[in-house]
Amino acid sequence: MTSQEITHAGTHNRARLCVISSLPVDLVGSETLVRLAAAAPKGSIDPVDHALYRAVKLVFEGDACGAYNGSAQSLLEVESFDPASSQRKYSLAIVRGVKFGGRSRNVAVMRGDLQSVLEASKSSGSDRALALKNAGAHIKLGRRCMGVAIADITDVSQVSSKEVLTTGEFRFQGVVVLGIGDQKCIKSPTRGGYTRIEMWPAALRVQHWLNVALIVAMSVTGYYIMNPFFGPPASEDTGYLMGLIRYIHFISGFAWIALALWRLSLTMFATTRQMQWRSLWPIYGVDDVKNLFGTVKYYLFLSKHGPHYIGHNALQQLTYTSIYVLCIIQILSGLALYGLYDQYNILWVVFSYPVHWIGIPNMRVLHAMIMFFIWVFVIFHVYFAFRADALENHGGISAMINGGVWVPTGTKPIDAPEIE
Ligand code: HEM
């Protein structure tokens, strides 16, 4: 048994350092990220290199066994290598023939301590925040996070790894997480030219369906409060029917407020891009505006292809964010009406204060109007969800149940690294 293998006392299970996860943020996909991280010289005795090597072998050759020898076909060809030192906590290597973005490139690879790699390379604010948040979650579990950055090199023969720092800018590519366990394959499932991407985390899916149930409950009961469409006519004894309907409306309303607070907490603590604060507002630069116009042109049939996103495109995101705003107004107007029942409590006095501005009838009309807007949104939302699933064949509908969408292998979406 070698030093990197740890045996659990009393069992025969052998647990050793292995790659737990590959978290790309920029250009390269998760498999290429591990391959770049494995850019080590032949004969390395570092257990981290062994772990990376096994992960690469499992992805590309379907085999994680065997000792490290640095010469398997699936490993990148390391031209020169400069190890990390106590002053510089990352190594530098020059590798040939890395395939991404539809072509083969020669690149300098910087890999090592996450913080040091982040400091020595360029990355967007959101990529950096995402990498640190994800790494933080793994570090809490006692795992080790390696940062990887790359820089393009035009002529490999002219450059040694010692000069690499001056040849161009390094771009941060992501984090490879190592920990004790069994090496599992980090490769995403592929089928018929499509790769499955884990898109919607379980929390978001649960919230989506709770929203559906609560919006239906509040719409039926709310509409009934406005216009009692079943039960005995008002001229007869209706018993406690309206009281029951209002009770269901209020219980659902407060459950909806709890759901909104849960969603709010996720925007702050989530480690997935599509659940964070930033994702609610899609326009940060000129490129985002250009892509927004590209999407509008595509939707108006003025161009054949629109910009490709795996999450929401800017137009979709703006619509969803507007709906969130509308839902917040709906909650506030509901609370304003509810607060009228108890004007001895300072909290309800505050919540119902806007009623002084527009009056009770207008507040009720506002609350009812927003319900109709929500209905219109739901109709379009369901139509577009089925339309997109039928046209793109990406399993978007089932993704809200099982979390995964199917994306054509080899595409480079605007909002995610390459799909491998
Ligand atoms: C999707 C969300 C919601 C929908 C579709 C909805 C719909 C409605 C509708 C149509 C009415 C009748 C308006 C009228 O003519 O008086 C109503 C009344 C009301 N809603 Fe909502 N509502 C929603 C959320 C909420 C929330 C979050 C609260 C807060 C607890 C709330 C509290 C109330 C109150 C207090 C009334 C007045 C009941 C009454 O006058 O007896 N609603 N709602």
Q: pLDDT digit string (tens) for 214-261?
A: 999 999 999 999 999 999 988 899 899 999 999 999 999 999 999 999
Q: What pLDDT is attached to residue 155?
A: 64
355 close to ligand 1 (CB < 6 Angstrom): no
Q: Two tokens at 342?
A: 């108890």
Within 237-285, residue ranges assigned H as helices are 241-269
Look at the block and give the residue holding tokens 């579990």: 141
- How large is the average pLDDT for residues 174-196? 89
Look at the block and give the residue holding tokens 């690499």: 164
Q: What pLDDT is attached to residue 216?
A: 98
Distance 220 CA to ligand 1 centre (A): 10
State the fold for domain 5-187. Answer: Calcium-transporting ATPase, cytoplasmic domain N (3.40.1110)
Give the ligand 1 atom nearest the CA of 225: 12
Residue 110, pLDDT > 70, answer yes
Q: How far is CA 280 from the centre of its chain?
A: 12
HSE-up of 94 (CA within 13 Å, CB side)?
Answer: 19
Give the ligand 1 atom nearest the CA of 335: 29
253 close to ligand 1 (CB < 6 Angstrom): yes
Q: Find the length of the chain.
A: 420
Residue with CA closest to ligand 1 atom 32: 334
Residue 408, pLDDT > 50, answer yes
Residue 97, pLDDT > 90, answer no
Give the ligand 1 atom nearest the CA of 331: 27
Residue 14, pLDDT > 80, answer no
Q: Two tokens at 186?
A: 């980090």
Residue with CA closest to ligand 1 atom 3: 218
Tell me which residue of 93, 137, 139, 91 sits closest to 116, measured CA to CA.
Answer: 91
Task: Specify the amino acid at residue 105.
Answer: R
Q: Which residue has the higher pLDDT, 247 or 165?
A: 247
Residue with CA closest to ligand 1 atom 20: 334
Residue 13, pLDDT > 70, answer no
351 close to ligand 1 (CB < 6 Angstrom): no
121 close to ligand 1 (CB < 6 Angstrom): no
334 close to ligand 1 (CB < 6 Angstrom): yes
37 close to ligand 1 (CB < 6 Angstrom): no
What are the boundaries of each domain within the chain? Answer: 5-187, 196-408
Q: What pLDDT is attached to residue 87?
A: 92
Residue with CA closest to ligand 1 atom 17: 222
Residue 6, pLDDT > 70, answer no
- How large is the average pLDDT for residues 23-46? 92
Q: Two tokens at 391?
A: 């046209």
Tell me which residue of 124, 125, 129, 123 sits closest to 149, measured CA to CA.
Answer: 123
Handedness of CA 52, 56, 59, 61 (dihedral sign): negative
State the fold for domain 196-408. Answer: Fumarate Reductase Cytochrome B subunit (1.20.950)
Which of 38-52, 71-85, 289-303, 339-353 is least confident? Answer: 71-85
254 close to ligand 1 (CB < 6 Angstrom): yes
- How large is the average pLDDT for residues 111-124? 96
- How large is the average pLDDT for residues 324-337? 98
Tell me which residue of 22, 150, 8 sits closest to 91, measured CA to CA.
Answer: 150
